[in-house]
Homo-oligomer: A and B are copies of this chain.
Amino acid sequence: MKRTSFAHWPCSIARTMDLLGDWWTPLVLREVSYGIQRFDALQESLGIARNTLSDRLRRLVDEGLLEKQPYQTDPVRYDYVPTEKGRDFYTVLLAMNRWGDRWLSGEAGPPVTHYHDVCGQESHAKVVCAACGEPMTVENAHPRLGPGYPPHLARRPEIRARFED
């Protein structure tokens, strides 16, 4: 089944999801961020089919989130190393991780915590406003048309309506 493409929607959430393609991709990014960067190790740790893994890795390389670095020749084998773009995605994983900790852990508590070496505490992520540092939430953050919103769409009344509240 051909999946709907979100790549050209004027929405960074839709574009991000289009790039990810399916839920394996964030898990592959989690693993490489944890330092599991070789094909066989990824395959074993995720229990993912080899062709699915090849496909997701190729996509992440094509999109500039991972870089292939040979660690042996004859036959050549690669480490899949996150680029700056790939490393920055960890912030999204941290936000997702925190939501899941809070809402899906049950009484057992979070399966994984994060030690933050800046402050030396076991902690978790918090989403704040880059300008003032206070929490950013659905209640206090209001979407506005940005510079990259296509002008021909921005003129439509139903589009204008959704960005005014």
Contacts and interface: CB of A to CB of B under 8 A. Distances in A.
Interface residues of A, number: 93
Interface string A88-109: 1111111111111111111011
Contacts of A119: 129, 131-132, 134
A19 B35 CA distance: 26
Contact of A13 (B15, B96, B124, B143): B96
Nearest to A148: B108
B87 A138 contact: yes
Given A34-B162, A94-B136, A134-B119, A99 B109 contact: no
Question: In the complex this chain forms, how many copies of it are found?
Answer: 2
B12 A27 contact: no
A31 to B, nearest CB: 9
Contacts of A23: 3, 6, 17-18, 20
Nearest to A149: B111
Interface string A120-163: 01111111111111101111111111111110000000100011
A129 B156 CA distance: 40
Interface of A: 3-4, 6, 10-20, 22-23, 26-27, 30, 33-36, 45, 47-48, 82, 85, 87-106, 108-119, 121-134, 136-150, 158, 162-163, 165
Given A45-B162, A94-B127, 4 more contacts: A12-B100, A114-B136, A115-B142, A126-B127
12 contacts: A10-B112, A13-B26, A13-B27, A92-B95, A101-B146, A109-B146, A109-B148, A111-B150, A112-B144, A113-B144, A123-B129, A127-B127
